[in-house]
Chains A and B, each alone.
Chain A
Amino acid sequence: MRKIRLAKDRIARYLMLGIAIFTILFLLIIGLSLFFKALPIIREKSLWVLLTSVNWKPFKGDFGFLPFILSTFYVSLIAIIIALPFSILTSIYLNTYASKTICRFFEPVVDLLSGIPPVIYGVWGTLTIVPLIANKIAPKFVEFSTGYTVLAGGVVLAVMIIPLLISIMLEVFRSIPQEITDASLSLGATKWQTVKRVILRKSFPGIIAATVLALSRAFGETMAVLMVCGNITQIPHSVFDACYPLPALIANNYGEMLSMPSYESALMFSAFLLFIIVVIFNGLSRFTLIQIEKRYQF
């Protein structure tokens, strides 16, 4: 009887260990398989050409990813620029000013915002942001714009990353010891002065980490961006130009292009690129956040 119990325990332990090891290896498996799928095109064109060429003519064998990389970069940058002030202000408000009731009320708001599916954001973007840009904002700056633009992508993405930014920043602010803020307040500083001189300064690494994390989320967002960005292969020259981010490129073309091995490999290359950038960004910011959490754990 005792032996059976112990044997069961041992079997369970090894099974669990197997799952644990597989979880760690899974990251490697995804990365390697994407890399090997992308290898033919890297061999054919060299990495430098792929990353810096602007020629995208898959049927002639030209695969320049620069327009897509720049589109992704611009859209994400606009999203961060819009989202960051809102998120910082809101999370400071929730952390230092708001009463418990307001905080409890705001939690589901942030949860719901982060739970809304990308497609719904896309629908909302095409219904509100796109016409707004086409009819109201763009005519003041340029002659004509369809509204399906870098700016539209940036605005929709900004709304999508705000909940992520807020929830991480709240955690970062909470990790600041209460004694420090109390000391500042007891010396006669106002709450805002405490926020400005103590809290923001203390949580600066955390805010950077949250920003990088949100940026990597923005890089990979597909459906919403696909629906509002216009998807025209070009390097956007203003925020009122259409653009074509990397995830949208994969979503629009992958699956149909299996008849052309080099095209398939090129799309896999873009998936690999996305994977590498996101893993590096994520790794760095998560590492920073874990360090912050550790420092203030007693």
Chain B
Amino acid sequence: MRIKQIEEKIFKVIMMGAAMIILGLLLYIIGTVFYRGLPALTLDMITKLPGGGFYLGKEGGVLNAIVGSLYIILGSLAISIVISVPLVMYINFYLPPKSIFSSIIRFSLDILFGIPSIVYGAFGFALMIYLGMRASLLGGIITVAMLIMPLMMRSFDEVTRLLSRDLPDALLSLGATKYEMTKVIIRQMVPGLITAILLAVGRGIGDAATVLFTAGYTDNIPTALNQPAATLPLSIFFQLGSPVEEVQNRAYASAIILTVMILILSFSARYFSSKFSKHKI
């Protein structure tokens, strides 16, 4: 009788310890990045392009990488929204519930989601060679779109599945076609879609392996789709590889910029999904 209570106490403490360690790890990671990066984080970092001798420790910033990352993520978002929304509507409202076809689609989305970003990168690059393209903004956009699409579809699908069947049934009984029905339903799904988008942006903006070969790297802001584009993760990676200490410090500062972007994205995704659950019919 005594032993099982002692065992209970011991394991409870161990479990709380494990949870605390995981919380501690998160704080430790963010703390380390901020601690090392803050001294080098100046306004120049986010408002200036790399100047002459930037990679030797002279002045300049990573505006090229910030803008490049934003261009790539916006472009790939446009592609993936256009493809994801119809697909999710199709499997939820066009196909009968519990159809085998929709389970096959969901299953392939699960697997596509698990494919490593480096494989997408290699595939994207092979595709670009086949099409005769060089490392460019467009190549990066297409490859990142492949990476984020499964994530966006899955998370959008998850909230769409939760929608009660009443609204679609009411619309159909009023004589609407399924296409007209989806147009109404999408309005209901906007907060869920925003959450899915924010999650996808978080994954896409932080990934380096996909854009490593496909987007290239440049010190300028690209002005056309066929020009190479710099990205924030790659900028961190390249600066970190420099032997000059000031450049390394700037890598930590750039890491802060990326981390803050991710934190904002993650919290706003959370905000929108909580908002969604409040106003669900």
The answer to whether A120 touches B110, judged by C-beta atoms less than 8 angstroms apart, is: no
Q: When chains A and B are docked, how far (Å) is the Cα of A109 from the Cα of B263? A: 11
Q: Does A146 contact B (CB under 8 A)?
A: no
Instruction: Point out the residues of chain B lying under 8 angstroms from A9, CB to CB.
Output: 177-180
The answer to whether B179 touches A12, judged by C-beta atoms less than 8 angstroms apart, is: yes
The stretch that binds B, out of A42-50, A54-62, A83-91, A236-244, is: A83-91
The answer to whether B119 touches A34, judged by C-beta atoms less than 8 angstroms apart, is: yes
The answer to whether B19 touches A93, judged by C-beta atoms less than 8 angstroms apart, is: yes
Q: When chains A and B are docked, how far (Å) is the Cα of A263 from the Cα of B203? A: 30
Q: When chains A and B are docked, how far (Å) is the Cα of A122 from the Cα of B33? A: 11
Q: Does A144 contact B (CB under 8 A)?
A: no
Q: A19-B90, A250-B122 are in contact. Are A117 and B205 (CB under 8 A)?
A: yes
The answer to whether A123 touches B118, judged by C-beta atoms less than 8 angstroms apart, is: no
The answer to whether B122 touches A271, judged by C-beta atoms less than 8 angstroms apart, is: yes
Instruction: Point out the residues of chain A lying under 8 angstroms from B237, CB to CB.
Output: 119, 122, 223, 227
The answer to whether B11 touches A192, judged by C-beta atoms less than 8 angstroms apart, is: yes
The answer to whether A27 touches B178, judged by C-beta atoms less than 8 angstroms apart, is: no
Q: Does B18 contact A (CB under 8 A)?
A: yes
Q: Which residue of chain A has its CB nearest to the CB of B116?
A: A220
Q: Does A204 contact B (CB under 8 A)?
A: no
Interface centre among B32, B109, B177 (most CB of A within 10 A): B177
Count, A-B residue pairs, CB within 8 A: 259
| Residues of chain A from 25 to 49 with CB closer than 8 A to chain B in the complex | 26-27, 30, 33-34, 37
Instruction: Point out the residues of chain A lying under 8 angstroms from B86, CB to CB.
Output: 12, 15-16, 19
| Residues of chain A from 176 to 194 with CB closer than 8 A to chain B in the complex | 189-193
The stretch that binds A, out of B22-30, B70-78, B186-194, is: B22-30
The stretch that binds A, out of B41-49, B55-63, B219-227, B252-260, is: B252-260
Instruction: Point out the residues of chain A lying under 8 angstroms from B120, CB to CB.
Output: 30
Interface centre among B7, B122, B252, B270 (most CB of A within 10 A): B122
| Residues of chain B from 121 to 136 with CB closer than 8 A to chain A in the complex | 121-123, 125-127, 129, 135
Instruction: Point out the residues of chain A lying under 8 angstroms from B203, CB to CB.
Output: 115
- Binary interface encoding of chain A residues 114-158 relative to chain B, with 1 for a CB under 8 A from any of its CBs, else 0: 011111111110111000000000000000000000000000000
Contacting residue for B119 out of A120, A162, A278, CB 8 A:
A278
Instruction: Point out the residues of chain A lying under 8 angstroms from B108, CB to CB.
Output: 23-24, 26-27
| Residues of chain A from 266 to 295 with CB closer than 8 A to chain B in the complex | 267-268, 271, 274-275, 278-279, 281-283, 286-287, 290
Q: Does B167 contact A (CB under 8 A)?
A: no
Q: Does A247 contact B (CB under 8 A)?
A: yes
The answer to whether B90 touches A30, judged by C-beta atoms less than 8 angstroms apart, is: no
- Binary interface encoding of chain B residues 262-274 relative to chain A, with 1 for a CB under 8 A from any of its CBs, else 0: 1101110110000
Q: When chains A and B are docked, how far (Å) is the Cα of A258 from the Cα of B128? A: 13
Residues of B participating in the A interface, judged by any CB pair closer than 8 Å: 4-5, 7-8, 11-12, 14-19, 21-23, 25-26, 28-30, 32-33, 36, 83, 86-87, 89-91, 94, 101, 103-105, 107-112, 114-123, 125-127, 129, 135, 153, 177-180, 182, 199, 202-203, 205-209, 212-213, 233, 236-237, 240, 251-252, 255, 258-259, 262-263, 265-267, 269-270
Residues of A participating in the B interface, judged by any CB pair closer than 8 Å: 5-6, 8-9, 12-13, 15-17, 19-20, 23-24, 26-27, 30, 33-34, 37, 85-86, 89-90, 92-94, 97-98, 106, 108-113, 115-124, 126-128, 159, 162, 166, 189-193, 195, 213, 216-217, 219-223, 227, 247, 250-251, 254-255, 258, 267-268, 271, 274-275, 278-279, 281-283, 286-287, 290
Q: Known contacts A109-B22, A123-B32; can you find 15 more A-B pairs with CB under 8 A?
A: A30-B119, A33-B126, A34-B119, A90-B22, A115-B266, A118-B206, A120-B259, A121-B29, A123-B255, A128-B32, A193-B7, A247-B116, A254-B121, A254-B213, A258-B129
